[in-house]
Amino acid sequence: MIRSGGSRRMKAVQRRHVSCPINLRFEACKARDEFQMVTNGLIKVGVAIISLLVGTCAAAVEPGFDVEVPYGFVGPLSLQDTRLFAIDRMTMTRLFSTDAGRTWKETGPLVDSSGRPVLGSGQQRGHLPSLIRLASGAIALKYDIRSSADASQLDCWIVRSTDEAATWFEPVLVTRSQSRSNATWLTQTKSGRLVLPTEYWFQQPGDRGIGICTAFYSDDEGRSWRESKDTLWVWENGGAWQGACEVPTVVETADGRLLMFMRTWYQRIAQSYSKDGGQTWSPAKLNDLVSSNSEIFLAQIPKTDHLLCIWNQADTQEIRTGYYRARLTAAVSKDSGASWGSLRTIIQSPGQKQVRLISPVGAPAFLRTPMPVPTEEGMLADEFHMNRAPRIHFIGQRAYVRYTHRRYKYVDGKRERTVNQTRLRAIPTDWFYEAAEP
């Protein structure tokens, strides 16, 4: 939403000179003049104080920034001592920042109260970690770790800290051990329930695979878990066969429902609602947000009932030519996900067309990109920039958007990857409603 302001009127203040009558005593006139001088002085002091206060308030809204962070960066969260806290999933070690997220220092693994690593002595790599502050004040970290030689078999765990990430309790298993699950990102509802959406992936030789989504939920801060009764997928070709739903993300809406978004191969985002905190879900359907088969993230904007969605918006041609994970778009919903507006482009690849909204064209249809990176003939500029896998954390008046950023170019006909980074962009929350770029 672009805010427009009306013109301001300047009111002229006319001062009337009052002369002293001759028959009044000089002392009376002098006293009156001194009173006027004191009054005018107080007014000037008051104006100065108000200007100072207004300036201080305006300065409190700091501008955004975009920095490289450790490749496995997860977070950040704000600690009680004003530091920011994050996790490096590549080594499952702790990261701290004392300058609002511009620089980070690694301080070792997650340890229990005895100083022992909670994940064991060997180096562990976490998959799709999720870090949140609970209503109780505790910090919860969810992560997946390979449980066998099969890379598709992951065990999902949750671990909590009640002393600002200094020490951690013993991890609790969430999903079934050695299942083909892909649990994503934690959210906590107003009732205190933890909800963790999950994807299961199945594939047989010769087919393109099927992803179905469910959700786990906990009413005791993650000490025990149950799984939803429903499984979610979309129907393809008028219900002829099932279509995959993948990498779910969940947020609580203003009316108390849960909204789940899932990526698909149908150039749309699939969605489902739950009216009972994640125990049951409505059948998945495709909405009108045009999307490639890329990760999506939903969050609630603090101090509002509004929802924020960040995803890779791409049209059919961009999907076909390898530009399907280049443009990161943000949109806001003020009606619990029924409609989306205030579309903004956070970042895109050089040469891509400038768009805010890509409107759906025709009925949803299966479309898998034939290439992850454009061919040399399909390049729109000297470099191609891939921007994908967004995550959102709100701290103060900023949204911290973490995303993966890669750059490619062709040299003598050979494709080279020149940049492979995780970046953290701090954006003033008001930007998502305004017209200026961050």
For the residues of 394-438, what is the DSSP string, one character each? EETTEEEEEEEEEEEEEETTEEEEEEEEEEEEEEEGGGGGSSS--
Neighbours of 84 (CB within 10 A): 22
- Whole-number pLDDT of residue 178: 74
* pLDDT of residue 363 exceeding 70: yes
* pLDDT of residue 63 exceeding 80: no
- 85 part of a folded domain: yes
Average pLDDT over residues 74-100: 96
Average pLDDT over residues 52-69: 62
pLDDT band at 353 (very low <50, low <70, confident <90, very high): very high
- Whole-number pLDDT of residue 210: 86
- 167 part of a folded domain: yes
Average pLDDT over residues 351-361: 95
- Whole-number pLDDT of residue 406: 98
* DSSP H or E segment with residue 59: helix 26-60
Average pLDDT over residues 352-372: 92
* Proportion of the chain above pLDDT 70, given as a percent: 81
pLDDT per position as a tens digit, 293-326: 999 999 999 999 999 999 999 999 999 999 999 9
- 125 part of a folded domain: yes
pTM, whole model, 2 decimals?
0.84
Structure tokens at 211: 């992803």
- 150 part of a folded domain: yes
Domain containing residue 169: CATH number: 2.115.10.20
The average confidence (pLDDT) of the chain is 85
Average pLDDT over residues 44-64: 46
- Whole-number pLDDT of residue 180: 79
Question: Which residue has better confidence, 133 or 17?
Answer: 133
* pLDDT of residue 251 exceeding 90: yes
* pLDDT of residue 124 exceeding 80: no
- 177 part of a folded domain: yes
Lowest mean pLDDT among 82-86, 112-116, 178-182, 292-296: 178-182
Q: List the one residue out of 120, 123, 118 whose CA is nearest residue 139.
A: 118
DSSP E strand boundaries for 147-267: 154-161, 172-173, 181-183, 187-188, 194-202, 210-218, 226-227, 234-236, 241-243, 246-252, 258-263
- 295 part of a folded domain: no
pLDDT per position as a tens digit, 213-240: 999 999 999 999 999 999 999 987 776 6
Structure tokens at 386: 């891939």
Count of structural domains within the chain: 1
Give CA–CA dist 188/226, Å, rounded.
Answer: 15
Which residues constitute the domain of residue 88? 65-183
Question: Which residue has better confidence, 2 or 78?
Answer: 78
- Whole-number pLDDT of residue 7: 37
pLDDT per position as a tens digit, 409-433: 999 999 999 999 999 999 999 999 9
- 126 part of a folded domain: yes
- Whole-number pLDDT of residue 205: 74
- Whole-number pLDDT of residue 435: 60
* CA-CA-CA-CA dihedral for 104, 107, 108, 111, to nearest 10: -120
- Whole-number pLDDT of residue 179: 77
Structure tokens at 81: 């001592």
- With H, G, I as helix, E, B as strand and everything else as coil, classify residue 35: helix
* pLDDT of residue 14 exceeding 50: no
- 86 part of a folded domain: yes
Average pLDDT over residues 58-71: 77
